[in-house]
Amino acid sequence: MYSSVKQAHCGPSLSPVSDASNIIRDDITEGTVKQNKTMQQKQYRDKEVDGFAELREAIRAATDDQEIPKTRHEILLKAAQQIKLLLSMNLRLHQQLNTPKPRAYSQINNGHLTAPGKCQPHEPLRPYHKTQTL
């Protein structure tokens, strides 16, 4: 039978040196993962700050407000209001485009439509002569 010392050295466990190197390697890997995650979070926060600053400026330019929204909540509320306003304006413009327009021509002469204030179709155009002043 094996003694407890032989079982400890011959068993499945690794030597204390390899255990320590594995722990160090795991710590380094874990540290690198944490650094990467921290760096990604910082990049996300920076992009978020830049995005809100850009949105704040777009709101200011679109609304001509003297009071610029300061908090993120105010920025989002003002942006939502502006989007709703633009949607309603867009809807009105589409309705205007699709609504039949009244006739712009008021006179009918010999089967030809003429615009108000225009010469009749049978009248010749007069040539333009520049007059000399003395």
List of residues 6+ apart from 55 with CB closer than 8 A: 75, 79
Q: Answer whether residue 124 is part of any domain.
A: no
Is 29 part of any domain? yes
Instruction: State the CATH number of the domain containing residue 75.
Output: 4.10.280
pLDDT confidence of residue 109: 57
Tell which residue, 46, 44, 45, 68, has the closest CA to residue 56: 68
pLDDT digits (tens, 9 = 90+) for 49-61: 999 999 999 998 8
Count structural domains, the chain: 1
Return the bridge partners of 64, or none: none
Q: Let me know: does 51 contact 59? Beta carbons within 8 Å.
A: no
Q: What is the DSSP letter of 110?
A: T
pTM listed for this prediction: 0.49
pLDDT (0 to 100) of residue 55: 94
